Amino acid sequence: MFLEVLLYTALGIIVGIFCGLLPGIHPNLVSILLISFLVGAAGTSPPYPYIAFIVAVSVTNVVVNFIPTIFLSVPDSGMELGVLPGHRLLLKGQGLGAVRLGIIGALGGVIFSLLLFPLVILVVPKIYMIIQPNLHIILSGIVLFFILKDREPVAAAGLFLLSGLLGLTSSKLPIDQNLVLFPLLTGLFGLSMLLVSIKNKTKIPTEENELFVSGQTITNGVVKGSFGGMTTGLLPGIGPSAAAMLFSSGSAESFLVTIGAITGSNVLFSFLALWLIGKARSGAAVALRYFMGTLSFADCMFIVFTGLLSLGFAVLITQKLSSHIMKLLKKINYALLSATVFVFTLSVIILLTGVWGFVVAAIAAALGMIPNLSRVRRVHLMGVLLLPTILFYAGFTF
């Protein structure tokens, strides 16, 4: 069994690399496919190899995804707002440093969250029982905070409502609801940024400048991000990107460390939340629940062990990959590459979600261009997730 677990972990790391690099191939999709191929496996002896595979894919994807997010402006779900700060550093000749900050944040977030785990076991279930009946009020307060903090609050509210209406409408279209977030989030945060790169004929600096960040900035980002990752596990609709806006101090460097810590902490907490609060906060966690049913403390320790093993390899692999990819980026036409990625991403959207997915992505891309053309902050586009979530917990169904 031990060798089988190691084999499935290694396979999960390999799949996680492809999930992290290729737009549209998300761990949630892989988990759904795994369930469809292995229907009937649940209820037998604990399928630890499958669990190792799911955890390894999810953890590896989180780390590797910093490469397309920063280098190509194509983020995975949860990394949407990391595009702009990361891309800004890339254009200053600090792309490798930006990826490194994300990796440091993810590694630090997982380790710090594990140190807090004894406290989390005692506190989180009690906090969740208190906030669960008032989730719509808490989420509405967070949205209001973001809107009032914006330089253009009226326009910010309008952008939030428009993106929220798009989220509500897309849920009624003939699109697989397991895949609908792909055209939505890719259009809002990926395609819009790719269009900017194509329009501006963006070029990558030939020299890589050193990125110096203080230990204090990294420590603050890791600590805040770890608590942010736990917050995303408790509050549905508050993804890592939105949490980073709440917990980050504002600079691009701090934001990347914080969002790295949030995504690292969140992917671990999304699994452990099955045991702590009985809720699945990701597609991968749903797959894990399918195979395991209820989790025991021993199961949680197995997840932690597999996650740490995968994280260690993912960090080393991402470091190597980012260096090689950066060398390639400097030799090619970046605007042409952006156009190629744009066409490829649209093709994947059509392949997975059909014509309606293309329509959703096109509308989302148009909305995603608004922050680029105005002073409104990009975080309000998260209304695509937050407005439907708020209405659901408030008791409104459509």
Please give the full DSSP string across 324-369, using - where no structure is assigned.
HHHHHHTTS-HHHHHHHHHHHHHHHHHHHHHHHHHHHHHHHHHHHH
The mean-pLDDT minimum among 57-66, 83-92, 299-308, 361-370 falls in 83-92
Confidence grade of residue 44 (pLDDT, cut at 50, 70, 90): very low
Q: What is the pLDDT of residue 63?
A: 92
Q: Which is more confidently placed, 329 or 137?
A: 137
Do residues 106 and 311 touch, judged by C-beta distance below 8 A? Answer: yes
Distance CA 44, CA 355 (A): 40
Which has the closest alpha carbon to 138: 238, 210, 65, 36?
238
Residue found under tokens 């009032």: 148
pLDDT, the chain, mean = 82
pLDDT, residue 42, reads 47
The pTM assigned to this predicted structure is 0.82
**What average pLDDT does range 186-215 have in this prediction?**
77
- Of 35-44, 138-147, 156-165, which has the strongest mean pLDDT? 156-165
Split at pLDDT 50, 70, 90, the class of 272 is confident
- Residue 294 located in a structural domain: yes
Note the pLDDT of residue 292: 76
Q: What is the mean pLDDT of residues 317-329?
A: 89
Would residue 113 count as lying in a domain? yes
Residue at 84 is within a domain: yes
Q: Yes or no: say if 57 and 30 are a contact pair by the CB < 8 Å rule.
A: yes
- As a whole number, mean pLDDT of residues 100-127 equals 87
Domain membership of residue 319 (yes or no) is: yes
Amino acid at 301: M
**pLDDT score for 80:** 55
Q: How confident is the model at residue 78 (pLDDT cuts 50, 70, 90)?
A: low
pLDDT at 294 over 70: yes
pLDDT value at residue 108: 93
Are the CB atoms for 302 and 46 separated by under 8 Å?
A: no
Residue 223 CB-density burial (10 A; 0-12 exposed, 13-18 middle, 19+ buried): middle
Measured N-to-C along each axis, helices 135-149 and 153-170 cross at an angle, to the nearest 10 degrees, of: 140
Confidence of residue 23 (pLDDT cuts 50, 70, 90): low
Under 8 Å between Cβ of 261 and 104: no
Q: Does residue 37 surpass a pLDDT of 70?
A: no
pLDDT at 293 over 80: no
Indicate if the pLDDT at residue 43 is higher than 50.
no
Structural domain containing residue 274: 2-393
Compute the distance between CA of residue 31 and CA of residue 285 in angstroms, rounded to an integer.
Answer: 9
Rounded to 5 degrees, what angle do the CA atoms 181, 311, 298 make?
95
pLDDT of residue 372 exceeding 90 = no
Cβ contacts of 254 within 8 Å, gap of 6 or more? 217, 220, 221, 248
Domain count across the chain: 1
Residue 309 falls inside a structural domain: yes
Is residue 398 situated within a structural domain?
A: no
